Structure 1
């Protein structure tokens, strides 16, 4: 996954592009580059590393000043991070300059054809075929040339292109990969993500599949690939760009952990009624379908969204009768159980642009299966393609590791489960009044949890400095939470953290328990606590150092562990939200203690728009 930016207008393109790239560096940080046009010529600069490295290079050796340009920050998918593999890429005669996000699936065939035609390649990327194809099929008319080439490309991609012969315009297009136009006064912007545009404009238009945008100083024209004009319907974004600033925090990850009470409050706002739940986005979907006829529900997600989906399954299992399955998005698109119009697929993605999740959605729709998306991003590809979308209103999440997205997604899944249970007259409808009461106080409970655990976790994290392995165990929902906690430690602290169902340790993994090895034991589910205590005793008998996480007032855990951390009591179905807090904080502080960039972990990007 990579980030694309573009600008044309009356200001210096370079400063705007660099600023926008900096705001997109959660999309890629292997290398960065820009191409600037002064409407007479185009100059290029690329550097390996972060956007700051590119900026330093430009200060040492400036390039031309111009009012038009494109930029790119790269997360390598084809070819190692090098200056030569960095974007923008151009043909040998420097006629066309291209930035690309996505994958050209048939690039090997295209490359073979171009090599036979005498073209030379200097990178390991799939992108390099594009400028060569533009040069090969050059009609002398920029827009017509692009139209000639695009049908030759297979895959998912977003492109921004400059032409030496038409240095006063840029062309942008999208094929199942996000690219957004931002509108200003006598100027226009491009970006892979909305946040990069917010300091400059809040009026945007996401380029749709099969559309091509031509940006000049005087106009933005959107057309179909066949040449028909499209009137872009501008959308006004409500996000406040001040929310994107660090404010008093050192890192975005900590800021976003601390924002969870407000994120949950926004996700619940207007949806909790006096006697139930109302989700306006769902109304049309519910009226058009007989939910009583559904035979199975499948929840699909990747990474943290997959973990929130497993929690969603447990919530649905307790409220409705029909089977609920959970699938990893990258697996679902290739292998899945039977799908029909009698099934429901719920796809979960923070960004709404995750390629694996979009492929899973496409697979479900191929069988006529109704789909509901849960995402944070309005007008994302996922929200546009699903039959119905439930939005989580956590605000922008800029740290790579998902935190408030996780708890907001679970909140959204709880709301959806309540609605489905009532519509289907599920077996757990009698639980709903108590669950609703708990939802009303959920934001406050999360706030209390943050206050109770932050300092204690900061101290505990100190012992992770010389640890390379840690176990997290739990039963039921606590095991799912252990999976998410382990993922966070792997992402930002680079600790080999393993999650296990506590009762499974004795079936093989106990061989890895050695004196002093740290184990975090989650025990927030009352009906499983006694069994968890027995599993903790088994690990303590092997001299593990065990830290227990349980609810206030529980003495059964404190008596068998080395340390105990208490969190507030909540409804059992909501405990995975509260218990996530200390694990998120542990990953954050462990990453800081070990000296890592917790916002930008190595080898990772925020939302992967390539499969």
Structure 2
């Protein structure tokens, strides 16, 4: 989950490297470092902490001025955050300099072999074997040396490498790990993710497995690792630099919460007609999908995307009447049921690079399943590996905690569900589709209204959480799924021990944890179970809990039994999890800020999980 950057051009490299690292810090912020070359010599500077700490360090320990370099911001996987373990790393004699994202799975064996050959290691990282291998098998030619050692590395990794013997060149490699080549006018860039490049270029080429990008002043080339020159297919990114600026917001998380009307509008754009959903990108797989013999659908995702997947399950089952199973990506490859071409697999990943989800996708493909991906990132590995991809088009999401990507994924799942329902003969949910399409049309406006209605009230309620260590969220049906997501957000950014429970299950054990004054958020947006939820609220209130209800405009019953009530607009029941997610996102944000936490960069977390 670390971030890699690189630059080669005619400008001073250091400011560009630091700026790109700032934009990648959501991928890791335990330590940071750069290596800069003036085409004659290379110098390395690194420090524990964030990129701002590296900037401060460089003010007192300046680095040489150069026109090319590489940089790294780290999320520790092997070895604690420290100067020694920070990247860039080199070997015994400093001949090769490496920044790395991912995992070298066979590093213990490689390390042992290199030690036997006389190499000395100083770090606790798996990365350090790479510069030592380059030294051990140095052919005298930078490119050939890299080609020699690559087959020895097992795992998922992205690398950017410098060589002191050829200090005017950068070589970059990607193996099941994201690394993007950006091309500008007489300059080239490397980054683990597109947002880092937006101020400089929107013309990119994702480096694929088996490819090497070779950046030199004379030419930027992409080769196969056997040396064959390739013609890279460049992609023009629709995002722009305004999408990655904070503008008037204090944090990216708040900015992205308020970008949800636009994000959902973009997800819907061109995909709705009065009586139909248009997903032309899916037609190749849908034309071959054995709809009449489709036995089951499996949804695979991690974290917040997993919660969007559970909502998708409930929507698909209601509209199609086909059994749906949702699995954590990290568990799927070990515990999945029998799979074949009669199982449709849907994978969700905001980044399109989540390592566990990518492994699950491969497993599904090996079993012969058609795979549809839902992701936010064009050209990502998951989008390339899936049979078809629905892009959510939510724009860059730079806060670690996902908000607009989550609600956009739910919308994409509903669009897919409607499209599939049209293909399934005698689909039980056909009668619901017209009203659902109508509600989707006005969803961006409803989201805007929800933001206006709930922001101030949530900000005030967040003060209640200041000295609370525990908080509960309850709901039934889709509201229970939403409670899971709300609890995760509070855990991520407010560090509150928040737990979600199916409201009817509280009395089967969890009620023992309810003590006077403990805050409980009761979600009550699903009319068919409203009376049951009200009964559960009364049970909790009888034990002294402080209950905040979330319900729809016009409902008076919930307000009579809770301490405080928040109202959201009423929409189609299947879309209520989108609207009701917003006060929970705002609660997590304001609870985190009132407790003094950096809500954009929560401790121990990173956004794009590219290691298993």
Instruction: Answer yes or no: same fold by TM over 0.5.
Output: yes
Q: Distance in 2 between matches of 1:435 and 1:292?
A: 24
Question: Are 2:78 and 1:107 equivalent residues in the alignment?
Answer: no
SS at match of 1:334: helix
SS of structure 1 residue aligned to 2:604: coil
The DSSP-based 3-state class of the residue aligned with 2:139 is: coil
How far did 1:288 drift?
2.5
Once the two structures are superposed, the pairs formed by residues 545-560 of structure 1 within 5 Å of their partners are 545-560=546-561
1:96 alignment partner in structure 2: 96
Native 8 Å contact 1:181 1:206 kept in 2: yes
SS of structure 2 residue aligned to 1:466: coil
Distance between the aligned counterparts of 1:237 and 1:453, measured in 2? 34
Report what 2:291 is aligned to.
291
Distance in 1 (CA, whole Å) between partners of 2:447 and 2:185 is: 43
Q: Give the match for residue 458 of structure 1.
A: 459
Which secondary structure does the structure 2 equivalent of 1:182 belong to? Answer: strand
Structure 1 residues 247-305: Cα deviation after superposition (integer angstroms, max 9, x where no partner): 11111111100110111111001000122111111112212233222110001110000
Q: 1:178 Cα shift?
A: 0.6
What is the CA-CA distance between 1:564 and the residue it aligns to?
0.9
SS at match of 1:133: helix
Q: Is the 8 A contact 1:458 1:585 kept in 2?
A: yes
2-side partners of 1:474 and 1:289: how far apart?
36
Distance, in Å, in 2 between the alignment partners of 1:450 and 1:16 is 36
Q: Which residue of 2 aligns with 1:488?
A: 489
Q: Who is 1:596 aligned against?
A: 597
- Deviation, structure 1 residue 477: 0.4
Q: Does residue 177 of structure 2 align to residue 177 of structure 1?
A: yes
- Per-residue deviation, 1:427: 1.0
CA contact (8 A) 2:455 2:586 kept: yes
1:225-374 equivalences in 2 (<5 Å) = 225-374=225-374
Query: How many residue pairs were aligned?
Result: 611
Q: Is the 8 Å Cα contact of residues 35 and 44 (structure 1) preserved in structure 2? A: yes
1:466-505 CA deviation, whole Å, 9 max, x = no partner?
0010000000000000000000000000000000001111
Q: CA deviation at 1:226?
A: 1.1
Give the aligned partner of residue 186 of structure 2.
186
Query: Unaligned stretches of 5+ in structure 2?
Result: none
Q: 1:59-115: per-residue Cα shift (whole Å, max 9, x none)?
A: 111121111100000000111001100000001101000000000000000001011
Q: Could you say which residue in structure 1 is the equivalent of 2:12?
A: 12
Classify the secondary structure of the residue corresponding to 1:151: helix
Distance 2:238 2:555 in 1: 44
Q: 4+ residue stretches of structure 1 with deviation over 3 A? A: none
Matches within 5 A, 1:114-153: 114-153=114-153
SS of residue matched to 1:126: coil
Asked whether the 8 Å contact 1:186–1:218 carries over to 2, the reply is no
Shift of 1:240: 1.1
- The answer for the alignment partner of 1:502 in structure 2 is 503
Q: Is the 8 A contact 1:32 1:72 kept in 2?
A: yes
Question: Residue by residue, what CA displacement relative to the aligned partner does 1:27-61 show, whole Å, maximum 9, x if unpaired?
Answer: 11000000111111111001000001111111111
CA RMSD of aligned residues (A): 0.7
Asked whether 1:408 is paired with 2:408, we answer yes
Inter-partner Cα distance in structure 1 for 2:461 and 2:550: 12
SS in 1 for 2:338: coil
Counterpart secondary structure, 1:115: helix
> How far apart in 2 are the matches of 1:12 and 1:292?
61
> Helix, strand or coil: the match of 2:573?
coil
Q: Provide structure 1 residue ranges, at least 5 long, that are not aligned to the other structure.
A: none
In 2, the alpha carbon distance for the partners of 1:189 and 1:53 equals 23
Partner of residue 168, structure 1: 168
| 8 A Cα contact 2:290 2:342, kept in partner | no
For residue 586 of structure 1, what is the aligned residue in structure 2? 587
Over residues 173-212 of structure 1, what are the superposed CA-to-partner deviations in whole Å (9 max), with x where a residue is unaligned? 1000011111112111100001111111111101110011
TM-score w.r.t. the length of structure 2 is: 0.99
Structure-2 residue corresponding to 1:479: 480
Distance 2:394 2:572 in 1: 22
Encode CA deviations 1:359-405: one digit per residue, 9 max, x unaligned.
11011011111000000101011100000000101111111100001
TM-score normalised according to structure 1 size: 0.99
Aligned residue number for residue 36 of structure 2: 36
Q: C-alpha distance in 2, partners of 1:14/1:243?
A: 23
Q: Distance in 1 between matches of 2:366 and 2:287?
A: 22
SS of the aligned residue for 2:277 comes to coil
Q: Is the 8 A contact 1:37 1:43 kept in 2?
A: yes
CA contact (8 A) 2:373 2:386 kept: yes
1:401–1:491: 8 Å Cα contact kept in structure 2? Answer: yes
- Aligned counterpart, 1:75: 75
**Residues of 1 paired with 2:506 and 2:537: CA distance?**
10
Separation in 2, partners of 1:237, 1:483: 34
Matches of 1:74 and 1:234 in 2, distance apart? 28
2:573 aligns with 572
Distance apart, 1:333 and its partner CA = 2.1
Report the Cα distance in structure 2 between the residues aligned to 1:62 and 1:292, rounded to whole angstroms: 67
Q: CA deviation at 1:164?
A: 0.6
Output the CA distance in 1 between the equivalents of 2:473 and 2:201.
Answer: 45
Structure 1: distance between partners of 2:582 and 2:184: 40
- 2:457 is paired with a residue whose SS is helix
Tell me if 1:532 matches 2:533: yes
- Secondary structure of the residue that 2:101 maps to in structure 1? strand
Aligned to 1:138, what secondary structure does the other structure show? coil
